[in-house]
Amino acid sequence: MAEQIVEFRPRTVAVSRAGAVAEVRAAVDAMVAHTSSAGFVHPEYLGGDQALAELATVESDVVLNGITGAAGLPATLAALRAGRVLALANKESLIMGGELVKREAAPGQLVPVDSEHSALAQALRSGRHSEVKRLVVTATGGPFRGMKREELKHVTVEQALDHPKWSMGPVISINSATMANKGLEIIEANLLFDIGYDKILVVVHPQAYIHSMVEFHDGSTIAQVNPPDLRLPIALGLKWPDRMADVVPGVDWTLAHTWELSPLDEDLGPMVSLAFTAGRLAGAAPAVYNAANEVCVDAFRNSRIPFLAIHEVVEAVISEYEPPHERLTLESLMEYDTTARRQAGQVIAQRFG
């Protein structure tokens, strides 16, 4: 973080742990002392639980939320309430917030940054909403594509982190290995584009050139294609609906290409099926799915549960879900989140010690 502050010299920096502000400032001072950073001026430092939400309201053209997990929800809501255009890479905050987030978002205020949803947003410009037959969301299949359930019983954390196409953080990498990430993307697609779950399909495309497709009711399918490079959806998120020039190299059409598309293997996709269940339950069920999954990913990373137990525990928590009796608020969503995390921990303790 100190390196980024010295290089880019932002006006404001936020850290969620208040006590870390002094550590960050000291690290910046040390770096400035050992580099040629003439005229460096410290930014304003914000610290504490509300720091990220406060930062999201600062005067800006676009707020890009790339926080991992449920922790991104307050910043998402703060940015929307402040009237900022929100480029959303933190899918969990939309999935968790659901209708609460959608109520806060004005038309055009919420721009997707996930490559799949950026692709869908681009393809949807080819026709009217009423003409959409279905959304086709692509998945690489992760590191365990083609493996049967019996083979997945003993996979290691290191294997789950070894994604064949993308270099990502540990949580997203493991979510990709379990396909929970694709499950979250299904819920996100439903919320972003108001397309029913019966019109969303997942297909496996290991080459990761086709980022997603939209099929229209006349039989035409529009696909968005570019070599695997997350700079493109990020640039679109920052500039939407306009495009920046020369963001990434395009497909080299002077070469031969072979792209594979196949149905999602049931042995690999139970977390996807569970996401459809949570999405159809609606209310706070997607938040419960996300919270229980985050607890399970942490437990798997710390060797407390085996890989296949992630689905087992999340399914057990979802089965206990009770719909809210009143309109959801941020406070009630956070209560659901807390309860789901506690329930997941209890299931893990009971079944795996």
| Digit-coded pLDDT (tens) for 299-342 | 999 999 999 999 999 999 999 999 998 899 989 999 999 999 99
| Digit-coded pLDDT (tens) for 74-117 | 999 999 999 999 999 998 899 989 989 999 999 999 999 999 99
Q: Where are the alpha helices (DSSP H) in 67-139?
A: 73-81, 91-97, 99-104, 115-124
Residue with tokens 């949803």: 117
| Digit-coded pLDDT (tens) for 122-153 | 999 999 999 999 999 999 998 888 888 889 99
Closest to 296 in 3D by CA, of 268, 323, 321, 271? 271
Closest to 193 in 3D by CA, of 290, 113, 277, 117? 117
* CB within 8 Å of 246: residues ≥ 6 apart: none
What average pLDDT score do residues 191-199 get?
96
- pLDDT tier at 226, thresholds 50, 70, 90: very high
Domains in the chain, please, with CATH?
A: 1-48 (no CATH), 56-112 (3.40.50.720)
Please say if the pLDDT value at position 166 is more than 90. no
- pLDDT tier at 34, thresholds 50, 70, 90: confident
Closest to 96 in 3D by CA, of 158, 188, 174, 3? 188
Closest to 328 in 3D by CA, of 104, 66, 107? 104
Task: State the pLDDT at residue 49.
Answer: 87
| Digit-coded pLDDT (tens) for 232-253 | 999 999 999 999 999 999 999 9
Q: Sign of the C-alpha dihedral, residues 82, 84, 88, 90?
A: negative
